[in-house]
Amino acid sequence: MSVGILAHLLGKQPFRELAAKVAAYEFPYVQLALSKAISDVDCSLGKISPGLASEIGGAFADRGVRIAVLGCYASLIDLDDESYRHNVDRFKEHLLHARHFGAPIVATEVGKPADRSRLSEYEERLNRALEELVEEAERWGVTIGLEAAQGHLIDSPETMAQTLERFPSSCVGVVIDPCNLMNADTFTRQDEVIQTAFDLLGPRIVSAHAKDLQRSPNGLLIETAAGLGELNYPLFWKLLEQHKPRGFVTLEGVTEEQCAEAARFVHEGRAQG
């Protein structure tokens, strides 16, 4: 069983140095968010080319590291036309060049509504964006990985399932992070939430994130490294291996000092799952 890491957790730096650092920690793959992780190349909209993508992807491959997922975290629901267009075009550019990076998946959270009274407008924006992005993903044979997160338009197994029903394309999948499905209320019934997520989304899962949650004395949830909190990981590993054995699992919410222990926790847990 293997485990990767969000590349930028090891620090934003030149891409060759980053690839070497990932390899030194013995991670076989990464989720790479270009703007967060790479300091020596301009990867803004319009600057990515097949040559640049191949050079970055090759630097990781030369170190024995795959780019499992490209992270392109940009709101797909922005009601400002200019920002919306920029974000959609940037995501399309990632889809276009993903194969040159060696990445099968481009992932994102969809965005946070600034005004909950205008949810129908945000939903319309998301539908318009995904119509374009699904067409682009199908053209290039790349998977869009959608991730639910608290406060976002997609924030639960149910809202994710509704989106997947609207977009049944095999090029739309789910990045599952059980912690992102939790708030102070749902964490008290986390087993039910985790089970529901796999019941509704299991066949569409393409990658997973591993971090953890602790409850503070005042009831707030605090993120921490996988294995240091209260998430029912035995249940999560069991369901993940049932539905998507040997799938990508990527560490999140860790410091460099916690990397080795968190990776060991994931290795051992998945082996027993």
Nearest CA to 130 out of 104, 163, 97, 176 is that of 163
The predicted-structure confidence for 164-206, as pLDDT tens digits, reads as follows 999 999 999 999 999 999 999 999 999 999 999 999 999 999 9
Q: Considering its fold, how many domains does the chain have in total?
A: 1
Instruction: Say if strands 66-71 and 105-109 run parallel, antiparallel, or are unpaired.
Output: parallel
Would you state the structure tokens that stand for residue 273, as one six-digit string? Answer: 């799952």
Model pLDDT, residue 1: 56
Q: What is the mean pLDDT of each run of 10 residues along the chain (273 residues)?
A: 92 98 97 98 97 98 98 96 98 98 98 96 98 98 98 98 98 98 95 98 98 92 97 98 96 96 94 83
Model pLDDT, residue 219: 82
The span from the CA of 39 to the CA of 12, in Å, is 6
Domain hosting 103: range is 4-272
Would you state the structure tokens that stand for residue 30, as one six-digit string? Answer: 């990464």
Q: What is the CATH number of the domain that holds 98?
A: 3.20.20.150
Pair 146, 172: CB distance under 8 Å: yes
